[in-house]
Structure 1
Amino acid sequence: MNTVSTKQHAQIFDDITQTLAMNPELSLDELNLVAEQTIAARNNQADSDFCGLCPTQISNWLYAPFNELTKVTFNTPADLSSSPVMSYLALIFTEAMQQGGSIKATAKGNLPAKLVKQASELLPNFAVSKYPIHISISEFAGSNEDKFNALHYTRTLADVAGIIYYKSGHFHIKKSVQKLYQTQGINAFYLPMLEAAIMQYNWRYFDSFTDSVDLRAFWLFMLWRLQKHASVEQLIDEVITAFPALLSHAPASQYSSPSELLGRLIESRFINRFLEFWGFVSIDPKRRGNANIQPLLTQTFQFAI
């Protein structure tokens, strides 16, 4: 899909019109060639609407497979203990390996209370613990999996990534996965879990917003911008400028405009329930306009821009 902005469409039209005016004898084939060359040139030209990226680069970030993304490298940090997702996954592995590769689920098909309690006790290890929240509304602790969003998110990702599966009342770890864990440890699953979170997981899973906004395609652009300036408000403005069509998928209501709704979706789906769950940022509830960038973010994502 072409990512040329409306402004660039106008510029391309002006360029072609000017070329035709200066060369009225051009044949249709020659004019088509001029148009192709003009579009290619514009697609590789920096665009202020995209914060200086060219449309070709934006197109790669929006549509390329995870392993074909350019201008960014993904790394697995040696120490993942500050990541809630990876810490919970390590607990699941530890518990399963002690029981021959599986965990008995509750009657509702959730992780057992013992593991939930262990996961809740990990909260002091994470950056989000700097801003205490009552357990009744915390996403990083709970009395059971249903009340513990970050843990449920982790278990869901592990299933989506093909690490665990549910059968006959138990969560099983695949034999091949067990062998990989025994030889490489929990770090072997960092990038596969991350890819599942970005490419396969439904980001609307935890909320009840009535919209059709799918933010997953824009994750790398948003991550790059937030890593640059750590301003949530500036990030929202940049997304609206770069991708104004998103506003048409965020319906206005008596309570909010499309831009206000889109801002809340970015905060909820991208920042709170992606970046915070992974330990990439922490947000002070009293100063939600600023993101506290964590070392794990810069260790994982390195941009060559």
Structure 2
Amino acid sequence: MKPERNDACPCGSQKKDKRCSMGKDPVTSAEDVLSEIKRYYESNPGLTQEDFETFVQRTFAAHNQQPNLDFCGLSPEQMANWLYAPWHELKNVTINTPDTFSSSPVMRYLALMLDEAEHHGGAFKATPRGNLPTKLVKQASALLPEFAVARYAGHISISDFAGHNEESINALHYTRVLAEIAGILYRRKGHFHVKKSARKQYQTQGLQAFFIPMLEAATQRYNWGYFDGWEESVDLASVWLFMLWRLHTHTRVDPLTDEVITAFPDILSYLSERSYTTPRKQLGLMIESRFIERFLQFWGFVIIDPLRVSNAEAIKRKAEIQPLFEATFIFHV
């Protein structure tokens, strides 16, 4: 019998069937695997419990290691690894620390904060609103021409990379939030402080020491809906590696949305049908804003053309992979 959406998946992952990546296969569904197990059990009346459990484990293991068309050729086992494994156990992807961060807004902004703290004994004063000081904001704005996104830079009032205060520079504010999540920076008594351990790392290892901790904070602990007003709870952060791999493969936003829906069809159930748009279009906008613009572009991994509309329809957009992406992520699939 096919499991209900809220039942535990029969693959043994201990996750709900609707959440589990193990229950799909281009040739054999989870229901077919259960049928195979049932036939084996019925045709072997003298089967011991131990032998039966061994058969079940081997059957599901073989099933989970087969390429899955819904996962663009990844096996359910590989997909589960990218969804649930800690960083040090990720398979078929290597995440490197690049030699230079000259093109990365996030890392350049972090360097500004660390340098400012170093110049003042490990801390610097915050504004009355608790934001980064004007001096640092001006330095951050001045970096825009050095980033690839500068070719699409619009008026300063709508730029994510330039502005008059921290609140008007989304990429800068994002970096400060990540630095706090990653345990590098904290605010106390009107000042921003760099933790003593982080100061020592910076003095001995340089900016490279913080690339992986910042990236891990961005993908594992940061709220991707922080900047937008969508009420829907769509967890794109959990599928970031899958999306990253697919975008690197074809660089196109529209197919990426379809691939996410095919791999995780339940994701549309979190989006409401509206008079002016569909759940699919909503998801596409979320992927563009949360994943591409306010993750990959903030980091300097890709740049994407500004959103343009023709005949009330958004023109399909394409991402341009940057050298920093190639230096950081190497996929082996």
Equivalent of residue 265 in structure 1, options 286, 296, 300: 286
Verify the 8 A CA contact 2:68 2:75 in the aligned structure 1: yes
The yes-or-no answer on 1:155 pairing with 2:183 is: no
Cα offset for 1:134? 1.4
3-state SS in 2 of match to 1:171:
strand
Equivalent of residue 3 in structure 1, options 11, 15, 21: 21
Aligned to 2:323: 295
Q: Which runs of 5+ in 1 are unaligned?
A: none
How many aligned residue pairs are there? 304
Which stretch of the first structure deviates more once superposed, 285-294 or 269-278? Answer: 285-294
Whole-angstrom distance in 2 between the partners of 1:297 and 1:116: 26
**1:51 alignment partner AA:** C
3-state SS in 2 of match to 1:95:
helix
Alignment of 1:1-305 (within 5 A): 1=15, 2-6=20-24, 8-20=29-41, 23=43, 25=45, 27=47, 29=49, 30-285=51-306, 286=308, 288-305=316-333
Verify the 8 A CA contact 1:75 1:299 in the aligned structure 2: yes
Partner deviation per Cα, 1:84-142 (whole Å, 9 max, x = no partner):
00000011111111111111000000001111011001001111111121111111111
Cα offset for 1:40? 1.2
Cα offset for 1:38? 1.6
Cα offset for 1:14? 4.1
**1:52 alignment partner AA:** G
**2:272 alignment partner AA:** P
3-state SS in 2 of match to 1:292:
strand
Cα offset for 1:25? 2.6
Cα offset for 1:296? 0.5
Cα offset for 1:15? 2.8
Verify the 8 A CA contact 1:161 1:192 in the aligned structure 2: yes
Cα offset for 1:255? 2.0
**1:25 alignment partner AA:** P
Verify the 8 A CA contact 2:24 2:70 in the aligned structure 1: no
Distance of aligned partners of 1:52 and 1:6 in 2 relative to their CA distance in 1, 3 Å threshold: closer
3-state SS in 2 of match to 1:185:
helix
Cα offset for 1:270? 0.6
- With the length of structure 1 as denominator, give the TM-score of the two structures: 0.95
Verify the 8 A CA contact 1:74 1:302 in the aligned structure 2: yes
Cα offset for 1:16? 2.9
Bigger RCO (CA 8 Å, 6+ sep): 1
Whole-angstrom distance in 1 between the partners of 2:116 and 2:148: 25
Whole-angstrom distance in 2 between the partners of 1:28 and 1:236: 47
Whole-angstrom distance in 1 between the partners of 2:280 and 2:86: 29
Verify the 8 A CA contact 2:220 2:237 in the aligned structure 1: yes
3-state SS in 2 of match to 1:136:
helix
Partner deviation per Cα, 1:221-245 (whole Å, 9 max, x = no partner):
0001111110111111111101111
Cα offset for 1:32? 4.4
Distance of aligned partners of 1:142 and 1:288 in 2 relative to their CA distance in 1, 3 Å threshold: farther
Report the aligned-residue RMSD. Answer: 1.6
Q: Identity of paired residues, percent?
A: 54
Q: Which runs of 5+ in 2 are unaligned?
A: 1-14, 309-314
Distance of aligned partners of 1:27 and 1:131 in 2 relative to their CA distance in 1, 3 Å threshold: same
Verify the 8 A CA contact 1:20 1:26 in the aligned structure 2: no
Aligned to 2:4: none
Which stretch of the first structure deviates more once superposed, 248-257 or 9-18? Answer: 9-18
Cα offset for 1:35? 2.9
Whole-angstrom distance in 2 between the partners of 1:296 and 1:112: 29
Whole-angstrom distance in 2 between the partners of 1:6 and 1:110: 47
3-state SS in 1 of match to 2:77:
helix
